[in-house]
């Protein structure tokens, strides 16, 4: 069934786990991540990047999600990942998605606050939650973002802006980066503690691919309740395709449905590992009742 993103994150926080928020690329990966959540009785957030929204189209993406998520016996939300473009935000709000990440980290602080407040007003009028990012999380993901930290603020500023704008979830810089790590990151779980001394808003961890189970547990213990996974799914997807195509070349058997099955199995296994690491296994029923 389809549920609200912030309620899933709040249930996770109350019960000491994090909801996996997984970027999907198409119907194949969408169905595979939902199958993983169903298999482990886990709540799930399905995310889509602006690049994927533009390639698939808002209407088809919305319909695919509804057809896959509504009959599923676990709570699932649909979230637009990093989006600096107001027109795309408006399109998915109108389509009734669960939430959007308005990424204002390329704006100066005053502009970021003003535009975030406008997005929150528009989203809340339609019952859509808003994740807010005003500091940039380093790394480029699907053409969005920067490899250098452009804006960084004290936690007090992040919380004050979130409260003034009415934001539902916070995406602060926590030492992680998008994409594959080129060097060992300096993780900042203590920054989550400091934020949560000032607010009860759910805190989101970006750049989860490449961290280990102990890193995830440190962030969850600090209070992170939504963890984004994108690169991990892409790697599982592409490596499964590569392995399949090598086999096809060697055997001379070219059968797309069997490649789709291999990709699906690889994505499912990858996401199952994250559901287990995030502690969300078995929480589907409780998170649904929390509605």
Instruction: Return the number of the residue (206 or 268) whose C-beta is nearest Zn ion.
Output: 206
Instruction: Return the number of the residue (31 or 206) whose C-beta is nearest Zn ion.
Output: 206
The answer to whether 53 touches 89, Cβ cutoff 8 Å, is no
The answer to whether 196 touches 158, Cβ cutoff 8 Å, is no
Instruction: Return the number of the residue (139 or 189) whose C-beta is nearest Zn ion.
Output: 139
255 is annotated as an active-site residue: no
**Taking the complex as a whole, how short is the minimal distance between the CB of residue 50 and Zn ion, in angstroms?**
12
Exposed / middle / buried, residue 193 (Cβ in 10 Å: 0-12, 13-18, 19+): middle
Instruction: Return the number of the residue (7 or 206) whose C-beta is nearest Zn ion.
Output: 206
Exactly one of 81, 91, 168, 215 is catalytic; name it.
Answer: 81
Q: Which residues bind Zn ion (CB under 5 A)?
A: 206
The answer to whether 242 touches 256, Cβ cutoff 8 Å, is no
Could you count the other beta carbons within 10 Å of the beta carbon of residue 63? 12
Determine the Cα–Cα distance for residues 194 and 174; give it in Å rounded to an integer.
12
Instruction: Return the number of the residue (15 or 107) whose C-beta is nearest Zn ion.
Output: 107
How many contiguous H segments (helices) and E segments (strands) does the chain have? 12, 8
Q: Going by DSSP bridges, is the β-strand pair 19-23/44-48 parallel, antiparallel, or unpaired?
A: parallel
Helical H segments across 223-255, by residue range: 231-251
**Taking the complex as a whole, how short is the minimal distance between the CB of residue 118 and Zn ion, in angstroms?**
22
Could you count the other beta carbons within 10 Å of the beta carbon of residue 72? 17
**Taking the complex as a whole, how short is the minimal distance between the CB of residue 225 and Zn ion, in angstroms?**
15
Could you count the other beta carbons within 10 Å of the beta carbon of residue 175? 18
Determine the Cα–Cα distance for residues 167 and 132; give it in Å rounded to an integer.
6
> Closest residue (Cβ) to Zn ion?
206
Residues 6+ apart with CB under 8 A from 11: 43, 283, 286, 287, 290
Which string of DSSP letters, residue by residue, matches 49-72?
A: -HHHHHHH-HHHHHHHHHHHHTTS
Q: Largest Cα–Cα distance in the chain?
A: 62
Instruction: Return the number of the residue (35 or 46) whose C-beta is nearest Zn ion.
Output: 46
**Taking the complex as a whole, how short is the minimal distance between the CB of residue 208 and Zn ion, in angstroms?**
9
**Taking the complex as a whole, how short is the minimal distance between the CB of residue 42 and Zn ion, in angstroms?**
21
**Taking the complex as a whole, how short is the minimal distance between the CB of residue 178 and Zn ion, in angstroms?**
6
> Which residues does the annotation mark as catalytic?
81
């Amino acid at each position: 069934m389809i549920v609200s993103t912030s309620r899933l994150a709040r249930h996770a926080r109350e019960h000491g786990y994090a909801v996996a928020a997984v970027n999907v690329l198409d119907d194949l990966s969408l169905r595979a991540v939902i199958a993983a959540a169903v298999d482990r009785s886990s709540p799930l957030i399905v995310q889509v990047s602006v690049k994927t929204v533009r390639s698939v189209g808002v209407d088809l993406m919305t319909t695919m999600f509804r057809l896959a998520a509504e009959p599923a016996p676990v709570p699932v939300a649909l979230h637009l990942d990093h989006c600096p473009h107001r027109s795309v935000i408006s399109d998915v709000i109108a389509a009734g998605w669960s939430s959007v990440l308005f990424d204002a980290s390329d704006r100066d602080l005053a502009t970021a606050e003003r535009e975030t407040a406008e997005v929150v007003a528009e989203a809340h009028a339609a019952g859509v939650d808003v994740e807010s990012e005003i500091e940039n999380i380093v790394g480029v993901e699907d053409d969005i973002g920067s490899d250098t930290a452009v804006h960084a603020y004290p936690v007090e500023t992040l919380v004050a802006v979130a409260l003034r704008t009415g934001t539902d979830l916070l995406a602060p810089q926590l030492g992680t980066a998008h994409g594959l790590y080129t060097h060992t990151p300096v993780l900042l779980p203590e920054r989550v503690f400091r934020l949560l001394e000032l607010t009860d808003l759910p805190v989101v961890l970006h750049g989860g691919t490449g961290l280990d189970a102990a890193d995830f547990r440190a962030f969850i213990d600090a209070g992170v309740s939504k963890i984004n996974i994108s690169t991990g799914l892409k790697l599982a997807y592409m490596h499964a395709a590569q392995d399949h195509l090598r086999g096809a070349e060697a055997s001379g058997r070219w059968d797309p449905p069997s490649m789709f099955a291999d990709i699906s199995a690889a994505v499912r296994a990858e996401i199952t590992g994250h559901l287990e690491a995030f502690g969300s296994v078995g929480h589907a029923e409780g998170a649904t009742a929390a509605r």
